[in-house]
Structure 1
Amino acid sequence: MQKTIIAAKWIDGFWDRWIVHGVEKDDISSIRSFLVDKESWVETWGALARSWAERAVSLPAAEAETAWRKASLYYHLAQWIIPERNEEKKEWLLKSLQAARIADELSPLETHYVQLDVEGKTCFGRVRLPVKAKGAVIIINPLDSTKEELFTYEDDFLQNGFVTVSFDGPGQGETYVHSGLKGAAGRWEQFIHLLIDWTSSHFSLPICVFGTSSGASWAIYSSGHPKVRKVAAVSPAFESKEIQLPAYFVERVQFVSEEKGSVWLPQLERTTFRHPVLLVHGKRDTMVPSEHIYRLYDRLPVGKQLLEFDDEGHCCNYKLHYIRGYAASWFQE
């Protein structure tokens, strides 16, 4: 936990993910120097979340929806720092879920809360419906993220006419906290196949998959499923001796892993790919070297595309809005 706080306090790039997912830069600047331990982190982000919730009450519906989503994101940040599955984490996660549901109620688009069983335990998901659906996009969240964090992903695909399907998988968010289901590579393989089959059984639409970082790795793995049409993968993570994952990330993942010492990524070198993949890479990515991306790209099937950005790092954070729009168009080709 302390490694995470040190990274947050001193490494500017730590915040890129949160900024592009909706956290205000001014909010980060106002509290960053006060983040010294778990208590200060939780109290500070909790207070900012309450501020956004209070602000939402007097706003028109569209603006109130945005404010509630920010409140949900900030409550998510409060629980995110707590790696253990305990009552404190559960309480903050519940506040995040409640704020997200209020935002959903204010939205003109329909939202359904759904469940999927993996090894007898419940995985929790959300499905949002556009006015007129052209297809369905399964959003695979990075390992230390939750479905509520990536609402901007949902918004972009919804605006392009896609149903969005987003679940907390094993070791993530609501699934980990409420069901106690931890992450493991084999369990995630089951989850991915069950999730695609679930989506296929509920929607008679072309199914595409989108993921970033570790979520991108599992998105590429899903390209081997016969019911998937296309996949877009941004900065897929690899488990390799040549690649050093951030220390704070490795430390955090151990709490939610069934097998210690593993970050439960798919073995892509052993995976058979079936359907086209849009592979996205930032050339300043210090976690995933370009040569790994190029070797993977060479193995992908016909119909593949490589989209690169000279000035972006891991996850191409500041190009994500453009990438999601590009992927939505490519999915429809």
Structure 2
Amino acid sequence: MALVKSTIDKTLLTANLFDGFWDRWIVHGVEREDIDTLRSSYLTKDRWMDGWRKRADQKFLEAEKLEQDNSFAEAEMKFRAAGLYYQLMQWLIPERKTEKIGWLNVSLSAFEKADKLSPIKAKYVQLPIGEQNCFGRVRIPSQTKGVVIIINPLDSTKEELFTYELDFISKGYIVVSFDGPGQGQTFTFEGLRGTTRRWESFIDVLIDFTSNTFPNLPINLFGTSSGAAWALYGSCNPKVNKTVAVSPAFVGGGIKLPDYFVERSRFVLEEEKSLPSYELLPFRNPVMLFHGKQDVMVSDSNIYHLYEQLPQGKCLVEYEEEGHCCNYKLAEIRQKAVEWFESDKEV
């Protein structure tokens, strides 16, 4: 209980003091005005939960009104926005107790309502990892060019990254997105925590599932941060076509991670760091790397050394003003990724 309170307090302290804490949520769809309003007074747990609940409830009601008016496309996006705001509530709670489970279910319900309104239907899938299951979603547009497997960073759920999903399906790609060990439904419902071995198994099973389900389509991987690290692991699989890795995390990179993140990780990981060692990976397929030059978690030297290890067909794109995950270039990065998936050349 003491660790839970400490983790929440450190998370709230960071949210109060550092603007950069919010970058991830802004680029994933949280409105700056809502953040500024909540931060106008010091954020306590109660203020966080009440503030995001009221805003999520309001968006949910607006979505229902749009649905009643037959404005289905607008209603879909508003339900997804409500779901994202409910995500902020479950996200704050690090342990898989009733409060976290409850708000995750509320968020999932909002996303399910959005899915039902979309002309591109969602299939909900579970993949066994040992004796437990990983939860995922698959969306299949009518005209398909290939598949993109989105590998989410440790601290995110598959639902949080819904804009990635929408971008890829709008370009004609089937999207496969799962909560891996330590993430989302997989952690909260199953209690499955992350280890390096479990993540290796998860990526292997995920690629096999995708290849078996869509045997005649090229499979591409897209990941950010720790998700990019595991996308690089997946790039070694002969069933994979191309891989995009944005700000891949490194084992023991000599970087001090934020205290709140380190404490949050203890709840979802059984090992201190569950990441692949790039030096040991048998790289074989083309990789496109993205790196923000202001990244305080991934050094230039680490990226350049990794790039030297990559096989033919590789590409490196750097952004001078971006930090970790290149947050404010992510929409552009997804566009570049699509162009690269469809080309035999570097972008």
Give the alignment's TM-score, normalised by structure 1: 0.97
Residue equivalent to 2:79: 68
The question of 1:300 aligning with 2:307 is answered no
Contact map agreement 1:209 1:219 (CA 8 A) in 2: yes
**Shift in Å, 1:3:** 1.2
Q: SS at 2:34's partner residue?
A: helix
Match of 1:288 among 298, 302, 306: 298
Contact map agreement 1:53 1:68 (CA 8 A) in 2: yes
Letter in 2 for 1:234: V
**Shift in Å, 1:116:** 0.2
Q: SS at 2:128's partner residue?
A: strand
**Shift in Å, 1:110:** 1.6
Q: SS at 2:73's partner residue?
A: helix
How far apart in 2 are the matches of 1:302 and 1:200? 23
Instruction: Give 1:1-333 correspondences, 5 Å limit.
Output: 1-59=8-66, 60-204=71-215, 205-240=217-252, 242-259=254-271, 262-333=272-343
Letter in 2 for 1:87: T
How far apart in 1 are the matches of 2:10 and 2:125? 35
Contact map agreement 2:291 2:326 (CA 8 A) in 1: yes
Contact map agreement 1:38 1:82 (CA 8 A) in 2: no
**Shift in Å, 1:207:** 0.3
**Shift in Å, 1:239:** 2.1
Contact map agreement 2:253 2:298 (CA 8 A) in 1: no
**Shift in Å, 1:257:** 1.3
How far apart in 2 are the matches of 1:239 and 1:3? 24
Residue equivalent to 2:5: none
**Shift in Å, 1:35:** 5.0
Q: SS at 1:229's partner residue?
A: coil
Tell me the number of residue pairs that the alignment of Structure 1 and Structure 2 aligns: 331
Deviations 1:147-172 (A, max 9, x none): 00000000111111110000000010
Letter in 2 for 1:117: P
How far apart in 1 are the matches of 2:52 and 2:195? 30
How far apart in 1 are the matches of 2:53 and 2:204? 36
How far apart in 2 are the matches of 1:93 and 1:11? 26
**Shift in Å, 1:64:** 0.8
Compared CA separation, residues 19 and 315, structure 1 to 2 (3 A)? same
How far apart in 1 are the matches of 2:168 and 2:42? 35
Q: SS at 2:242's partner residue?
A: strand
Worse overlay, 32-41 or 159-168: 32-41
Letter in 1 for 2:195: A
How far apart in 2 are the matches of 1:122 and 1:284? 37
Deviating 4+ runs (over 6 angstroms): none
The two structures, once aligned, show a CA RMSD in angstroms of 1.0
How far apart in 2 are the matches of 1:66 and 1:301? 40
How far apart in 2 are the matches of 1:35 and 1:269? 45
**Shift in Å, 1:241:** 5.1
Q: SS at 2:241's partner residue?
A: strand
Letter in 1 for 2:226: S
Contact map agreement 2:79 2:114 (CA 8 A) in 1: yes
Letter in 1 for 2:321: D
Give the alignment's TM-score, normalised by structure 2: 0.94
How far apart in 2 are the matches of 1:34 and 1:63? 32
Q: Give identity over the alignment, percent.
A: 56
How far apart in 1 are the matches of 2:49 and 2:273? 25
Deviations 1:111-167 (A, max 9, x none): 100110001101100001112011000000000100000000001111111100000
Which ranges in structure 1 are unaligned for 5 or more consecutive residues?
Answer: none
**Shift in Å, 1:33:** 3.4
How far apart in 2 are the matches of 1:18 and 1:279? 23
Letter in 2 for 1:299: Q
**Shift in Å, 1:251:** 0.9
